[in-house]
Amino acid sequence: MHAERVTIIVMLKKKRYRYNPKTLAYELHQTSVKVLFSRGLILFVLTILTSFGYFWIYTNYLNLGTPKTLQLKRENADLLSKLDLMNSKMKIADQKLERLKQRDNNIYRPIFGEHEIPDEVRNAGFGGVDRYNHLKFSKNDEFLTKISERFDQLSKKTVIQSESLDRLGRLAEQTDAMATSVPRIPPVNIAESGFRLSSGFGYRRDPFEGDQRMHWGIDISGPIGSEIYATGDGVVIKCALELSGYGNHIVIDHGFGYKTCYAHLKYGGFAVREGQKVSRGEVIGYMGSTGRSKGPHVHYEVFYRNSRVNPTNYYSGDIGLDEYDMLIGTVKGQ
């Protein structure tokens, strides 16, 4: 082979030799650092590109995942399964809470004269800023938001129901006091002769104007100076002297949301004073015809939670003399 065209590289003990046709000898060949660096850089870049190519084919074309990706997918699936289970349990808890709400509104609260809690209070939303905005980070954000919202609603309903039962528990502890405080008797013994229910609760013909007007209490006519009794335990919060309207009247706060008013008492017809505690059956005043009145009678009103209610709903209209005496704790003739 021609020496000018053929270059023989001999590798001996990891050293490179090249035949030099000018000197007719093999000379030690040393590659420059620049060439070595360039070759290494090219090899590195080709390796990286090849790796990315294989990774793209593996994950996108073959639709396979890396071990870490597969592990994350399994963990995500497990988490979603647990969340779905929690959602099912919250649904069951919500159903149980709904049954408890029905018993609370229809059984427990009416026993103690409590109004039911409106659904708009129990189911009220949270409003304001988007409290679930932090959950909008994945394709499952809608599912996570619904679970979080259901959990918050369930928590609020539980708090409201717990507070309701706590209040009923306190009322139950005060049953004895409540039994004597609720106005359960008429202000006079309507079974005695000389007394009669002259006007009931509701619309009637006004005795002064002649038109139909709402009558917010009951009128019981009787002899002037007849004793008027407190219809339940309480505290006298008003003894008023008026020339018109109710005339001379007394208001008693019985607690538990109840108040009563006794109107048209005679002049000087107060037997109690403001701030005085009274018991059911205690004489508080005397029948008269003061204020807007056409004859001796007591105008009697019952308030529950500041709303006027029909007084006859709280006592029996056919109560007898002995029964009334027993209720007011007195014995006639003594």
For the chain, domain boundaries: 77-173, 184-328
The pLDDT assigned to 101 comes to 85
The pLDDT assigned to 291 comes to 92
The pLDDT assigned to 1 comes to 47
The pLDDT assigned to 149 comes to 79
Q: β-pairing, 283-287 with 258-270?
A: antiparallel
- Higher-confidence residue of 267 and 55: namely 267
**Residue 334: pLDDT band by 50, 70, 90 thresholds?**
very low
Counting Cα atoms < 13 Å in the Cβ hemisphere of 83 gives 16
| Axis-axis angle for helices 141-173, 67-103 (nearest 10) | 30
Domain 184-328 listed as CATH 1.10.287.610: no
Contact present, 238 and 251 (Cβ < 8 Å): yes
Mean pLDDT of 161-174: 82
Residue 126 has pLDDT above 90, yes or no: no
**Residue 65: pLDDT band by 50, 70, 90 thresholds?**
low
- Higher-confidence residue of 15 and 289: namely 289
The pLDDT assigned to 266 comes to 95
**Residue 5: pLDDT band by 50, 70, 90 thresholds?**
very low
Q: Which amino acid is at 84?
A: D
Task: Please give the mean pLDDT across all residues of the chain.
Answer: 81
What dihedral do alpha carbons 101, 106, 110, 115 form, nearest 10°?
60
The pLDDT assigned to 238 comes to 97
Least Cα distance to 293 among 258, 245, 325 occurs for 245
Mean pLDDT of 281-290: 95
CA distances from 139 to 76, 81, 85, 131 (A): 12, 15, 19, 18
- Higher-confidence residue of 279 and 55: namely 279
The rounded distance, in Å, linking the Cα atoms of 164 and 195 is 43
Query: What's the whole-model pTM score?
Result: 0.56
Residue 283 has pLDDT above 70, yes or no: yes
- Higher-confidence residue of 320 and 179: namely 179
CA distances from 166 to 131, 160, 162, 173, 186 (A): 30, 10, 6, 11, 32
